[in-house]
Each structure stands twice: as structure tokens, then as C-alpha cells.
Amino acid sequence: MLRVLVATDFSEDGRVVVDFAANLVRQSGGKMYLLHAVEPCMMDAAGCLTLEHSGTPGNTGEADGEIRHASLLEITNERAHRAAEKISKRWDIPIYGKAEEADDVVECIHQFCERHHIDILVIGNRHHSLLSSILLGSTAEKLVRTAKIPVTVVPCCTGGRRK
């Protein structure tokens, strides 16, 4: 069974990446994993967030008027699970969604691949400017350069145009 990991940030650009991987998994009869690596600086900046107000009937089953607080990692993990369920239904394939804290995004993705015996990593590439690639590097480029498994890089588009 082929195991495919999609490293995602849940952006609209990433949908083409998810669809590419889902099609690959459906054709191979494998399993797809979604991973969003959340950097601690993002969690520190967000602090404790108000997730939702349950004053309207049927929201969460919490007491009327109660406000639920959650960390960015919890919120992102819930989002990953919901996205996995939605994509699973749309493509009729098994999908596992997860968010993890990552001091180093590239290392987090590689460790996830090892833990879950991933066969292929599918990532998007936003085509950053030359200056930003030189100064900051590209996560996609780092993943390709350091991967121990095959990596498929899918170009991300916005509004039908490549960035």
C-alpha cells in the first residue's frame, strides 16, 4: 500500500497539491496523510485563541454562552482532521490529518515520514523571488535536497497564473 504525505499550510494554493496527491492515492489504492507543521513562534504570537462562541444552538454542545479557548496547535490540528475528512469523502480514499509543533519544519516533515513509513512526499512550490530564495531559502528546496524518499513538487497557482 502506497503511503503519500502532503505537507500543507491549508492555503488556497495548496488545493492543487492535495488534489494531485489524492488522485495518486486513489489510483494506487494507498493512503494519504496531511501534515501541517506549526512553528513555536507562531504559537507564541497567537497565544490562547478564542475558538468559537457557543451561544447559537448546535455549535459545540457546550453550555450556552460559554467561550472555548484553544492553542493555535489545537486549532490547526482540528483543521487538519476536518480537511482530511472532507478530502477523504471527495476522493473516496483514506486520509489522516495532523498538525505538529515544529522547531524546524523540514526536520518535522522528515521525522513524520519516518514514523509513518511514507513512500512519497508531495509538496507545493510557490516560486518565491530570487532574493527571498537566496536570503531565506525555500522549504521545498530544502525538503528535496535532504529527503530520503522521493519528493514530488507541484507548482502552486493563484488565479490561474503561476506566481
Rounded to the nearest 5 degrees, what angle is found at the Cα of 40, between the Cα atoms of 34 and 45? 115
- CATH code reported for the domain at 3-162: 3.40.50.620
pTM of this structure: 0.76
Please determine, for residue 119, whether its predicted confidence score (pLDDT) is greater than 70. Answer: yes
Specify the residue for cell string 505537507: 7
What is the reported pLDDT for 14? 84
Question: 17-37 pLDDT, tens per residue?
Answer: 999 999 999 999 999 999 999
Distance between CA atoms of residues 133 and 141, nearest Å:
9
Helix (H) or strand (E) segment spanning residue 3: strand 3-7
Please classify residue 128 by burial: count the beta carbons closer than 10 Å to its beta carbon, then call 0-12 exposed, 13-18 middle and 19+ buried.
middle
The domains of the chain are located at: 3-162
Pairing relation of β-strands 157-158 and 151-155?
unpaired
Question: What is the sign of the dihedral through the CA atoms of 106, 111, 114 and 117?
Answer: negative
